[in-house]
Structure 1
Amino acid sequence: MASDKECVDKAIIEKKHSGIPEATFLEDVDAFMKTKGNEGAESVIRRLDEQHQKYKFMEMNLLAKKRKLQSKIPDLKSTYEMVKVLKDSKKQDKTLSTQFLLSDQVYANASIPPTDKVCLWLGANVMLEYDIEEAEKLLSKNLEFARDTLQGVDDDLCFLKDQYVTTEVNMARVYNWDVTRRQILKASNS
């Protein structure tokens, strides 16, 4: 994961983050609480806590998306590399010898004659046949998209971290403001 400084720098540079609402730092808690009128500190802290929980939920979803992408990228990369090997064997008009994984630790030897076609699993039990050139372009595009998406998720996680830290600080400041206010009221009543 990126360092705190990188997270802050990225958050300053890039303002749009997948619809994640930006937390506003409370500079002047006293002025802020005056604008809330009859709403007490407990109510404000409760709303801030709800916002904090939403940020944590978003973080959980983004981390799941990141794990999924991190597992998908190596598969895309190896498939892309294999298509390039098939393309090279076609150019050299050479039969390719390899082993196929049948099940856990069970392999079968195979010879692949030069070919113009390749079949790719697209997901949801769907396989399509492509020309090698077309498959290479598709896999290259998908690999680049997955990497860009992963970078976007990392940026969103940095931004989100900044937002929930800001919310935690706001909660602490409102709580401390309330404690100070109560101490002043208690001292004036004594």
Structure 2
Amino acid sequence: MSLETGERNPRGIPKAPFIVDVDAHLGGPDGDAEGPLKAIQESIGKYRYMDANLTQRRQGLEEKIPDIKKTLSMVQFLSNQHSEHEDEEDGGKLKTSFELNDTLFAEAELEDTDTVFLWLGANVMLSYKIPAAIELLKSKLKAAEKSLANTEEDLEFLREQLTVMEVNMARVYNADVKRRREKRLKEGEKDGG
């Protein structure tokens, strides 16, 4: 028994139906609640699985975006330094210090600042000219921010669907308890009456 409606959010997450008529959903007064309850539990499990995956994705993006911004800021700084000091006698050398360890820094002179090396992941680093690096980082930042917004929207949608399914579960369970109680009372009247 599938509880999915044909409706989906923009990224394909199915919308949970609200069970309006619980008795009709259970198949009338003599229907069995075990199958519908199992279907609801399966749907809740699927929504929770999607929620866990999207939460993990959001955390990854929330860590990734500041790194991209920091890298973009540094590349833009190098671009500004390169254009300001291009005509100087020393060739526009940039003096800087960099971290070797938590407590150990070294000084360096950057001579050719029109090229940067960017980590792409999976132990891959590529050389880019600064304008190309800035464009790449801006596009990566824009894509990551859009992905984060979509993920947060999906998480909100999932929470709504989980709430609907939990309400459905409670309503079906309560209707089943009520039907069983009424059935016992009727059987007791027959036996005693």
TM over 0.5, shorter chain = yes
Partner of residue 65, structure 2: 73
1:23 to 16, 27, 34: 16
Q: Answer whether contact 1:29 1:174 (CA < 8 A) is retained.
A: yes
Matched, 1:111 2:104: no
Q: Which amino acid aligns with 2:173?
A: Y
Please identify which structure carries the higher helix content: 1
1:170 to 161, 168, 171: 168
Q: Which amino acid aligns with 1:112?
A: L
Q: Answer whether contact 2:9 2:15 (CA < 8 A) is retained.
A: no
- What is the CA-CA distance between 1:17 and the residue it aligns to? 4.3
Using structure 2 for the length normalisation, give the TM-score.
0.85
Matched, 1:152 2:161: no
- What is the CA-CA distance between 1:44 and the residue it aligns to? 1.2
Q: Secondary structure at the match of 2:100?
A: strand
- The correspondence of residues 1-190 of structure 1 with structure 2, limited to 5 A, is 16-34=9-27, 40-93=32-85, 94-190=92-188
- For structure 1, the residue ranges without an aligned partner over 5 or more in a row are 1-14
Larger relative contact order (C-alpha < 8 A, sep ≥ 6)?
1
Q: Answer whether contact 1:89 1:96 (CA < 8 A) is retained.
A: yes
Q: Answer whether contact 2:97 2:107 (CA < 8 A) is retained.
A: yes
| Change in CA separation of 1:142 and 1:38 when aligned onto 2, cut-off 3 Å | farther
**Structure 2: distance between partners of 1:124 and 1:187:** 68
**Structure 2: distance between partners of 1:113 and 1:76:** 24
- What is the CA-CA distance between 1:32 and the residue it aligns to? 1.4
Partner of residue 6, structure 1: none
**Structure 2: distance between partners of 1:56 and 1:166:** 13
Using structure 1 for the length normalisation, give the TM-score.
0.86
Q: Which moved more, 1:173-182 or 1:104-113?
A: 104-113
Q: Secondary structure at the match of 2:27?
A: helix
- For structure 2, the residue ranges without an aligned partner over 5 or more in a row are 1-7, 86-91, 189-193
- What is the CA-CA distance between 1:39 and the residue it aligns to? 6.0
Q: Which amino acid aligns with 2:34?
A: E
**Structure 1: distance between partners of 2:111 and 2:80:** 12
- What is the CA-CA distance between 1:38 and the residue it aligns to? 7.7
- What is the CA-CA distance between 1:114 and the residue it aligns to? 4.9
**Structure 2: distance between partners of 1:97 and 1:86:** 11
Q: Answer whether contact 1:86 1:114 (CA < 8 A) is retained.
A: no
Q: Secondary structure at the match of 1:110?
A: strand
Partner of residue 89, structure 2: none
Q: Which amino acid aligns with 1:171?
A: M
RMSD: 1.8
